[in-house]
């Protein structure tokens, strides 16, 4: 469906279901293959390999950070340009962004491949634990030029109205990765490197498939002769900074957490932290899928100055995020033992006790996380990168580090409570920022000012 018909004409509630549900399903598919990665490694390779995956994972995500900066940062101005009917500039941003993502993926991948063994030693890992983590990271580094563009092309598909196509690509990728990983680990009995190879193979195949509408010139966005210029680059960096800073800051926090856990309780604590991250990796993609899928619609209507539609779409986003988060909190609180045994079937009584306590404390996170998550996405979609970045960095790095110090006397319990405390502080910060920006984002009478025309009336669709 053409983005003008989908984003400008579809009633907001119907648009929410048309855009967010396929996006949530697609991201859930991605979450499932990541979860299956943890399950297969824990089941077939054991607790040391499971801990090694979680030790390497922050660096794997850092590998994608610059690609996310460019992919998300380009998606917002592309949507706004299409809303303003500036298709030539939208195509140029699209083309330049794709070239930049492949180039940065190759560069960062090369650095991580060379540095992998040294990074694991710096984390405090030794022997087999360190070697397995380095193997896992190096496979991702080799495949980085192609895999790093996958989530960007997913955004571009949704911008062009291929919402179901985006969902289908994610589902196919999840099924392919799960099948390959079972084959490599469960049947062929290959090592931890094969777990990373299965994921990278599935992502590479689906990345090429996702670009077909653009290669065949059937999509609204088309490749053109690239014209790099400073204003475009600044716009991409500005709009992508919240996601980039969140990725980098979050991974720095994960690295710090892993380093502390290795020194406090060794592999067992890292394994429990891994269980928490896999549980979060199931919930957060649902939130991200809903909010991120609505960003093209919000950006399009913001560019077209249809502000009442922006408000209506965001009301749906906030309500759905709250519902998903609260349900997740209930499930984590009620089923901590069952969740632990999925990833660590051979866990002894002490490890099981530690994990059950950690999951119950971690469940409190979702009572408030939804608000800051939805607020950050909203601010980024309406080209407010600075407040969005402030929420992002505070949530991913500033608040967790402060709480590590504040909760240090509680030992491991303080680490598990860190997540819930961070969510409360982030929700408070998001509320303050939205309140202070209310003059720019909305007026008491419900009307939003048009950019450059603060007193002008809103054009009706």
Average pLDDT, the chain: 85
Q: What is the pLDDT of residue 165?
A: 87
pLDDT band of 449, cuts 50, 70, 90:
very low
Whether the CA torsion 411, 412, 415, 419 is positive or negative: it is negative
pLDDT in tens, 246-276: 777 777 888 888 888 888 877 788 889 989 9
Q: What pLDDT shows up at residue 204?
A: 95
Of the candidate ranges 76-90, 127-141, 247-261, the one whose mean pLDDT is the lowest: 247-261
If pLDDT is split at 50, 70 and 90, which confidence band does 447 have?
Answer: very low
pLDDT, residue 2, reads: 53
Query: Across 41-45, 189-193, 375-379, which has the greatest mean pLDDT?
Result: 189-193
Question: Which of the residue ranges 4-13, 169-178, 251-260 would you say has the lowest mean pLDDT?
Answer: 4-13
Give the model's confidence band at 40: pLDDT under 50 very low, under 70 low, under 90 confident, else very high: very high
What was the pLDDT predicted at 370? 92
* DSSP secondary structure of 6-26: HHHHS-HHHHHHHHHHHHHHH
Higher pLDDT, 223 or 277: 223
Residue 197 has pLDDT above 90, yes or no: yes
Q: Determine the 3-state secondary structure of 411 from DSSP.
A: coil
Q: Span 163-168, mean pLDDT?
A: 84
What single-letter DSSP state applies at residue 182? Answer: I
Q: How confident is the model at residue 455 (pLDDT cuts 50, 70, 90)?
A: very low
Question: How confident is residue 58, by pLDDT bands cut at 50, 70 and 90?
Answer: confident
Per residue in 306-323, pLDDT tens? Answer: 888 888 888 888 998 999
Instruction: Using the structure block, give the residue that is written with the tokens 């909203």.
Output: 378
Cα separation, 441 vs 384, whole angstroms: 10
| Residues 343-385: tens digit of each pLDDT | 888 788 888 999 999 999 999 999 999 999 899 888 877 778 7
Distance (Å) of CA 15 to CA 259, 296, 313, 314, 408? 44, 11, 8, 11, 46
Question: Which two tokens mark 77?
Answer: 């101005």
The neighbour count for residue 153, using CB atoms within 10 Å, is: 23
pLDDT digits (tens, 9 = 90+) for 389-417: 889 889 888 999 999 999 999 988 999 99
Q: Which two tokens stand for residue 376?
A: 């950050």
Q: What percent of the chain has pLDDT over 70?
A: 93
Give me the pLDDT at residue 135, please: 96
Q: Which of 54-63, 165-174, 293-302, 364-373 has the lowest mean pLDDT?
A: 293-302
Q: Alpha-carbon distance 207 to 147, whole Å?
A: 7
Kindly indicate the confidence band of residue 440, based on its pLDDT and cuts at 50, 70 and 90.
low
- The Cβ of residue 311 has, within 10 Å, a number of other Cβ atoms equal to 17
Other CB atoms within 10 Å distance of the CB of residue 13 = 12
pLDDT band at 294 (very low <50, low <70, confident <90, very high): confident
Query: What is the pLDDT at residue 4?
Result: 60
pLDDT (tens digit per residue) in 19-33: 777 777 777 776 777
Q: Is the pLDDT of residue 60 over 50?
A: yes
CA torsion, points 81, 84, 87, 93, in degrees to nearest 10? -10
Instruction: Write down the pLDDT at residue 5.
Output: 65
Q: What is the pLDDT of residue 439?
A: 66
Which pair of structure tokens corresponds to residue 170?
């994610």
């Amino acid at each position: 469906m053409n983005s003008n018909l989908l984003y400008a004409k579809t009633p907001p509630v119907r648009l929410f279901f048309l855009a967010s549900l396929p996006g949530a399903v697609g991201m859930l598919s991605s979450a499932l293959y990541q979860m299956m990665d943890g399950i297969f490694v824990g089941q077939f390779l054991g607790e040391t390999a499971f801990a090694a995956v979680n030790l390497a994972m922050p660096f794997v995500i850092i590998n994608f950070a610059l690609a996310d900066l460019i992919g998300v940062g380009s998606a917002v101005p592309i949507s706004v340009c299409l809303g303003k009917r500036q298709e030539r500039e939208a195509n140029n941003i699209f083309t330049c962004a794709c070239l930049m993502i492949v180039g940065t993926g190759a560069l960062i991948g090369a650095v991580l491949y060379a540095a992998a063994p040294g990074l694991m030693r710096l984390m405090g890992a030794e022997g087999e634990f360190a070697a397995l983590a380095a193997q896992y990271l190096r496979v991702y580094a080799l495949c980085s030029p192609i895999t790093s563009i996958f989530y960007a092309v997913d955004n571009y598909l949704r911008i062009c109205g291929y919402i179901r196509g985006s969902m289908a690509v994610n589902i196919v990728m999840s099924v392919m990765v799960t099948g390959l990983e079972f084959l490599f680990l469960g049947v062929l009995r290959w090592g931890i490197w094969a777990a990373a190879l299965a994921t990278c193979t599935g992502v590479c195949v689906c990345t090429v498939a996702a670009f077909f509408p653009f290669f065949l010139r059937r999509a609204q966005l088309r490749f053109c002769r690239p014209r790099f210029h400073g204003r475009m680059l600044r716009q991409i960096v500005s709009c992508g900074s919240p996601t980039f800073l969140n990725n980098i800051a979050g991974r720095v926090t994960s690295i710090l957490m892993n380093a502390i856990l290795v020194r406090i309780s060794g592999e067992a604590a890292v394994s429990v932290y891994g269980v928490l991250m896999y549980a979060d990796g199931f919930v957060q993609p649902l939130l991200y899928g809903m909010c991120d899928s609505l960003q093209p619609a919000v950006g399009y209507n913001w560019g077209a100055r249809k502000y009442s539609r922006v408000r209506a779409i965001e009301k749906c986003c906030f309500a759905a995020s709250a519902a998903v988060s609260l349900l997740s909190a209930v499930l984590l609180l009620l089923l901590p033992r069952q969740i632990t045994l999925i990833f660590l079937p051979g866990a002894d009584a002490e490890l099981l006790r530690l994990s059950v306590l950690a999951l119950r404390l971690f469940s409190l996170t979702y009572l408030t996380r939804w608000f800051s998550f939805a607020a950050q996405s909203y601010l980024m979609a309406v080209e407010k990168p600075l407040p969005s970045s402030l929420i992002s960095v505070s949530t991913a790095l500033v608040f967790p580090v402060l709480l590590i110090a504040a909760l240090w006397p509680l030992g491991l319990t303080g680490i598990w409570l860190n997540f819930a405390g961070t969510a409360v502080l982030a929700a408070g910060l998001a509320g303050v920022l939205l309140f202070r920006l209310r003059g720019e984002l909305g007026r008491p009478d419900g009307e939003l000012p048009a950019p450059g025309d603060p007193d002008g009336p809103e054009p009706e669709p």
